[in-house]
Amino acid sequence: QMSQNLWLYEGMTEYAANHVQLKEGLISFDDFLLEMRTKIKRSKENFNDTLPFTVMSKGCLDEYKDEYFNVYEKGALIGLCLDIELRKKSDGKYGTQELMRDLGNKYGADQPFPDDQIFDIISQMTFPEIKEFFAKYVSGSEPLPLVQTFADIGAEYIESMEKEEITLGDVGIGFDPETQRWIIGSTNNLNSFGLAMGYQKNDVIISLNGKKVTRENFMSVVNEFKANTQVDDEVVMVVSRMKGKKEKDKTLSAPAQKVMTVKRFVLKAVENPSEEQLALRKSWGNI
């Protein structure tokens, strides 16, 4: 018999694996937000966001087996939202780490808790209002309160927005683990700038505007390009392209353009967090 509480067993564990790195200074707040954005994106693009998590959990071996891996995406996000909610109600003193400790002390390794009563149990151990959180977002079908949760810790989450910006051409870029190089993985969705550049699938990116691209620095090079490039600036990318059986360097170039893009799942730290946001960040993430 499958449990309805995979949000607790697997989701909370996945969340804790990321949260502990932040608390111990192994990753930055921006790194943590990037990981959470990835989970939001995977969850909302690949799984049914309106399917109650308890229902999915109970049926994940058969009827909802295609939804199972959302346990590691939305399940972790449930852990985050619950953690922040507990911290808010306890003035920063109590979160999911303390909750898991107290559940462990209450039940131990050999005594199971009643699977259909855990929401009541947690509400009794913490705050009565937490039962409403579970009713809405875990056993219910409401989307997680991501906008409010991230706002509480001084971050902004926007599900979808239009923005005119400099891009690399909406080209699909991937990393080849065998060669340890960044490559053009797809040219299916090129915008006008991408078409002007003349990318070809499997081009290996050597440099961008004179800066050599490595495994480690690619994102920083791209971010610098986006931040400093103006419309009509000449953009130069050197790629290595197969010609016959050999690779040869080829220079691609075109004037930079601003194009309208749809940005989804935007998540970033706010520039000037309030004292309240900073206090919650400190108690929650030790930052």
The pLDDT mean for the chain works out to 95
What is the structure's pLDDT at 263? 86
- Over 90: is that where the pLDDT of 163 sits? no
H-run or E-run covering 158: strand 155-166
- pLDDT tier at 100 (50, 70, 90 boundaries)? very high
How does residue 261 score in pLDDT terms, banded at 50, 70 and 90?
confident
Pairing, β 181-186 against β 211-212: unpaired
Residue 179's SS3 state is coil
Mean pLDDT within 165-179: 92
Q: State the pLDDT at residue 117.
A: 96
pLDDT tens track for 34-63: 999 999 999 999 999 999 999 999 999 999
- Residue percentage of the chain with pLDDT more than 90: 92
**pTM of this prediction?**
0.77
pLDDT in tens, 141-154: 999 999 999 999 99
Q: Which two tokens stand for residue 12?
A: 């909370």
